[in-house]
Structure 1
Amino acid sequence: MFRENFRKKIQELLTSVDIEIGGNRPWDIQIHNDEFYPRLFQGGSLALGESYMDGWWDCSRLDEFFFRILRSELDKKVKLKTYYADMLKARLLNLQKPSRNCRDVQHHYDIGNNLYRCMLDDLMIYSCGYWETASTLEEAQISKLDLVCRKLDLQPGMEVLDIGCGWGGTAKFAAEKYHVKVVGITVSKQQAEYAKELCRSLPVDIRLQDYRSIDGTFDRIVSIGMFEHVGYKNYPTLMHVARKCLKEDGLFLLHTIGGNESVTNTDPWIDRYIFPHSMLPSAKQICSAVEGIFVLEDWHSFGADYDKTLMHWFRNFHESWEILKKDYDERFYRMWKYYLLSCAASFRARMNQLWQVVLSPKGVLGGYKPERYIPFPERTSGT
């Protein structure tokens, strides 16, 4: 009786966003276990993801399923006690202090370089590509890196700090194409080892280091896809560190996923299985952290490009599963598929954004000239 009531309520909610239980369209949901209905009501988004990992339901196009839910903001209508408990914990504690931050980052990035090698492009760039004139994932990532270098106005001999350097692809590109020296920092051991080998013959120094312990002075600073791990309580700290390390005439480019509203925590399923204690900054939170420290020179939004990037990542991951499944089980496959496709939907629905923000210590004399469109064949020529 109660299960049937739960089923009817869920069907009513899904019907409101044009999703049918047992329907034959790609975005319709197929339920394999009737316990799914009470489980979803009791556990919200965490239960939705866990029940998918357990094989209790399927959908041939998860990205389209989530697009309909997120675009209609159906997710906001079901906020459970666990969500508010997590929000309260985030407000009371600094969930991204150095010791915890290292464990959280390693939870995601130290699960095997071969997974990312199969999923990403040749440079292992794990952030949004720039698809303005690109037609492949490799071109989109090279376009993004070159756009970053041009926005920073990199010149030969400059010293660049890369906060959250990943597997070293950005450092390698900048050193080879723009002839700069790079210090890259990460708290992921596997990333650091890979990056050191990738950049072995270049003027690149890869360090296993938290951003709060950086010293030295640099001509330029770049941070791509790392701010999402900082936490709202530490946004001003990162800005102060960057300002301390940046020369008076320098530039700082921050590349980050952003949210439409200010929050202090993330989705419970993402928090538990993908990015522990991560959170997406809002424009308001970024501007508040910047105020009194930097001058905002440029704000470039191209979040729709992340949808396309994530769909390419999923295709690569899916096509490489025969190679990867010797190291990961079927539950991991379902978890990773759920992660990539639900995130693609969040950008397609414009719920999540992608921003590149250029900052300067005192304002660029004569004005900063933004970079946007560059024909692809010119992008790898360097300076």
Structure 2
Amino acid sequence: MKEIIISPPKASYYEERVKKLFAIAGITVNGSKDCDIQVNDQRFYKRVLVSSSLGLGESYMDGWWDCYSLDEFFSKVLEYRLDQYTHADISSWFAVLQSKILNFQGLKKAYRNASFHYDLGNDLFRKMLDKRLTYTCGYWKQASTLDEAQEAKLELTCQKLHLKPGMRILDIGCGWGSFAKYAAEKFDVIVTGINVSKEQLALGKVLCRDLPVELKFQDYREIEDQFDRVVSLGMFEHVGLKNYKTYFKAVNSRLKSDGIFLLHTIGSDVSTKENDPWISKYIFPNSLIPSIAQITDAADGQFIMEDLHNFGLDYDKTLMAWSENFSKNWPSLEKKYGERFYKMWQYYLLSCAGSFRARKNQLWQIVFTKGLKQGYMAIR
């Protein structure tokens, strides 16, 4: 029998496929529009087809391609779902398999996951965020600056919780204490914040000094005591699917019978068991964006959902403001973090902005109770 030899595809094959793929979304390789990409290395074409999202991000960090407007590029890529036309490599499939078997957000791993991102350096976040250091989506309904949007979000959150003087509040994933500080100052409440980032807590304790605020190095599975209100802003994305029910049970056990729980989280339109591989590797290890179905399944039998508010487009504006601040202040950060970090961080901020612009991701504030006899009055 004559031996059949199958030759690997030529480089031109990968280039042709990628160019046709981007054309679906109106993106031209080496074109002149802001959303067009400029290819600097011919190896880019094969890498993005073979390794999909991970290959796209890593090749950008390696300088193999560039784009004037990454946010608009990603808005188009995600709007037209171009990821469906590429194939993840074997390492990506292995990561999916592991997520189904292992718990990457177990108690010990949760501390390591948080340290990877949130302990990068307070100098970085102080240069990027608003004056209150609020690392979650702002509320831009009547705001024109990042500071105004973040303060409006904190006010909106407090109003939805129906805070009253003297109440005891639990803030799960308190960051640098922006919510705790705002609520204590404006609503005369007592706040306990828990966090698994040492760097955030160190600065947060300084910012919240002389206030009825206690910030503790603690995981949500280690909470004790009872609270009138529970709030969690931008932390649920780190809980992990295998721990959703445990999370809601923990909140339920610590919330008084007439209490209110507000969950603020990025949301996905589809239920998945793994996050984007590039984001997981370089930005938020072992994170997962939940769907409404996954949230309601975990809350089943624990809470009544009283209100759901989606202001996901506001995250686009927030991320663009963070990107602008980061770029503006980069000269003071460059020596410590280096050029590759700059490309990685801008890729993170602008790709996420594009995902919200394309409406792939949402931002939900969900209010839960155990069943208030007087009902719940929604706030906007």
Does the CA-based 8 Å contact 2:163-2:189 persist in structure 1? yes
TM-score (norm 2): 0.96
Alignment correspondent of 2:148: 139
Find 2:62's aligned residue among 32, 54, 63: 54
Q: Distance in 2 between matches of 1:18 and 1:307?
A: 21
Find 1:334's aligned residue among 316, 322, 343: 343
Say whether residues 1:352 and 2:364 are aligned partners: no
Alignment correspondent of 1:380: none
**Residue-by-residue CA offset, 1:85-106 (whole Å, 9 max, x unaligned):** 2221111011100111111111
SS at match of 1:50: helix
Which structure 1 segments of 5+ residues have no match?
Answer: 373-383
Displacement of 1:79:
3.5
Alignment correspondent of 2:334: 325
Alignment correspondent of 2:204: 195
Displacement of 1:36:
1.0
Counterpart of 2:338, as a letter, is D
Q: Distance in 1 between matches of 2:135 and 2:84?
A: 28
Q: Distance in 2 between matches of 1:337 and 1:276?
A: 18
**Residue-by-residue CA offset, 1:119-154 (whole Å, 9 max, x unaligned):** 000110000000111111001000000000000000
Alignment correspondent of 1:247: 256
**Residues 161-176 of structure 1 correspond to what in structure 2 (within 5 A)?**
161-176=170-185
Which is further off, 37-46 or 202-211? 37-46
Find 2:374's aligned residue among 363, 366, 379: 366
Q: Distance in 2 between matches of 1:153 and 1:254?
A: 14
Q: Distance in 1 between matches of 2:359 and 2:351?
A: 12
Find 2:81's aligned residue among 73, 78, 81: 73
Say whether residues 1:149 and 2:158 are aligned partners: yes
Q: Distance in 1 between matches of 2:274 and 2:108?
A: 19
Does the CA-based 8 Å contact 2:49-2:87 persist in structure 1? no
Counterpart of 1:26, as a letter, is D
TM-score (norm 1): 0.96
Q: Distance in 1 between matches of 2:347 and 2:356?
A: 14
Q: Distance in 2 between matches of 1:267 and 1:79?
A: 13
Does the CA-based 8 Å contact 2:160-2:379 persist in structure 1? yes
Say whether residues 1:91 and 2:89 are aligned partners: no
SS at match of 1:185: strand
Q: Distance in 1 between matches of 2:13 and 2:185?
A: 62
SS at match of 2:95: helix
SS at match of 1:327: helix
Q: Distance in 1 between matches of 2:198 and 2:206?
A: 13
**Residue-by-residue CA offset, 1:232-270 (whole Å, 9 max, x unaligned):** 110111100001101110000000001001111101100
Displacement of 1:77:
2.5
Q: Distance in 2 between matches of 1:325 and 1:175?
A: 36
Displacement of 1:39:
1.6
| Cα RMSD, aligned residues only | 0.9
- Cα 1:283–1:79 shift into 2, 3 Å: farther
Displacement of 1:161:
0.2
Does the CA-based 8 Å contact 2:50-2:86 persist in structure 1? no
Aligned length: 371
Q: Distance in 2 between matches of 1:281 and 1:329?
A: 33
Alignment correspondent of 2:43: 35
Counterpart of 1:21, as a letter, is V
Which is further off, 28-37 or 331-340? 28-37
SS at match of 2:248: helix
Alignment correspondent of 1:158: 167
SS at match of 2:63: coil
**Residue-by-residue CA offset, 1:144-187 (whole Å, 9 max, x unaligned):** 00000000000000000000000111100000000000000000
